[in-house]
């Protein structure tokens, strides 16, 4: 007859022993694929690029520092992006794809169904007065005179603007706006908030901008801006 001590030891051994099916479950657990590892690496590199554009501007950004911040060697960065221009263009496309996703969610929301005017202003504030505006402005200035950046930058910006115009035009017309009124409203808000974004580069005053937007919204709801004949661009 086994004593209490041997019983305890036997229970411990059984608890530590592999359970039936554990080895098979471990084998079935999917390993991280090379594609998923590459995607994660690119996302870290792009996020580091965006942060450094914010801090140092395009002229102060180096691929070596991007690699260091992301936790990679410079050679690993070059495996994904062969030039600084490639890296920055990829970061810009990444930013605007995220803006498309968030804008699409905003336009489809219950708030936008009730009040597309406020919802569109909020979306524009996020894009042009949010954290990504300085990095994208740095890209835009660099792309203006860089032939390696100009065409790809223009391509993703055109894609972004066309996509968002279509999304928000649908949201406004669904709420009962005529197409001409919707076009005028979308473009006037867009140009107004863009202007605030440019002003915020050297004079960041979000409370002031928001007060101005509230006043504009009050006038718009009274019909002060109806009848415009400006098409979305």
Q: What would the pLDDT profile of 100-158 be if each residue is shown by its tens digit? A: 999 999 999 999 999 999 999 999 999 999 999 999 999 999 999 999 899 999 999 99
15 burial via Cβ count (<10 Å: 0-12, 13-18, 19+): exposed
Give the other-Cβ count within 10 Å of 26's Cβ. Answer: 9
Q: Which residue has the higher pLDDT, 168 or 3?
A: 168
Percent of the chain, pLDDT > 70? 82
Residues in the chain: 233
Long-range pairs for 218-224: beta carbons < 8 A, 24 or more residues apart: 220/117, 220/185, 221/117
Mean pLDDT of the chain: 86
Q: Which residue has the higher pLDDT, 17 or 96?
A: 96
Q: Where residue 175 falls among pLDDT bands split at 50, 70, 90?
A: very high
Q: Where residue 231 falls among pLDDT bands split at 50, 70, 90?
A: low
User: Tell me, what's the pLDDT at 32?
Assistant: 64
**DSSP state letter for 31:** P
Q: Does the global pTM surpass 0.85? A: no
pLDDT, mean of residues 88-102: 96
User: Tell me, what's the pLDDT at 220?
Assistant: 85
Q: Which residue has the higher pLDDT, 28 or 184?
A: 184
Q: Where residue 21 falls among pLDDT bands split at 50, 70, 90?
A: low
- Cα angle value 146/152/155 (rounded, 5°): 130
Residue 176 has pLDDT above 80, yes or no: yes
User: Tell me, what's the pLDDT at 8?
Assistant: 41
Q: Which residue has the higher pLDDT, 188 or 8?
A: 188
User: Tell me, what's the pLDDT at 5?
Assistant: 47
pLDDT, mean of residues 21-48: 74
pLDDT, mean of residues 28-47: 81
Q: What would the pLDDT profile of 39-59 be if each residue is shown by its tens digit? A: 999 999 999 999 999 999 999
**DSSP state letter for 30:** P
**Rounded Cα distance, 75 and 59, in Å:** 21
Q: Where residue 203 falls among pLDDT bands split at 50, 70, 90?
A: confident
36 burial via Cβ count (<10 Å: 0-12, 13-18, 19+): exposed
User: Tell me, what's the pLDDT at 13?
Assistant: 46
């Amino acid at each position: 007859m086994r004593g209490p001590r041997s019983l305890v030891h036997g229970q411990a051994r059984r608890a530590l022993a592999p359970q039936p099916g554990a080895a098979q479950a471990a084998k079935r657990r999917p390993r991280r694929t090379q594609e998923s590892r590459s995607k994660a690496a690119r996302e870290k590199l792009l996020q580091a690029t965006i942060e450094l554009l914010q801090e140092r501007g395009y002229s102060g950004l180096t691929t070596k520092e991007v690699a260091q911040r992301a936790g990679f060697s410079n050679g690993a960065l070059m495996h994904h992006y062969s030039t600084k221009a490639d890296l920055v263009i990829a970061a810009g496309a990444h930013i605007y794809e995220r803006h498309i996703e968030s804008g699409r969610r905003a336009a489809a929301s219950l708030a936008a169904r009730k009040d597309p005017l406020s919802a569109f202003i909020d979306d524009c504030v996020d894009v042009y007065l949010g954290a990504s505006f300085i990095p994208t402005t740095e890209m835009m200035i660099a792309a203006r005179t860089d032939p390696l950046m100009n065409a790809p930058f223009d391509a993703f910006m055109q894609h972004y603007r066309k996509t968002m115009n279509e999304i928000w035009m649908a949201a406004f017309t669904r709420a009962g706006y005529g197409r001409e009124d919707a076009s005028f409203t979308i473009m006037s808000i867009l140009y107004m908030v863009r202007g605030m974004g440019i002003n915020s580069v050297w004079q960041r005053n979000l409370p002031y901008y928001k007060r101005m937007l509230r006043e504009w919204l009050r006038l718009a709801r009274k019909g002060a801006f109806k009848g415009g004949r400006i098409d979305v661009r």
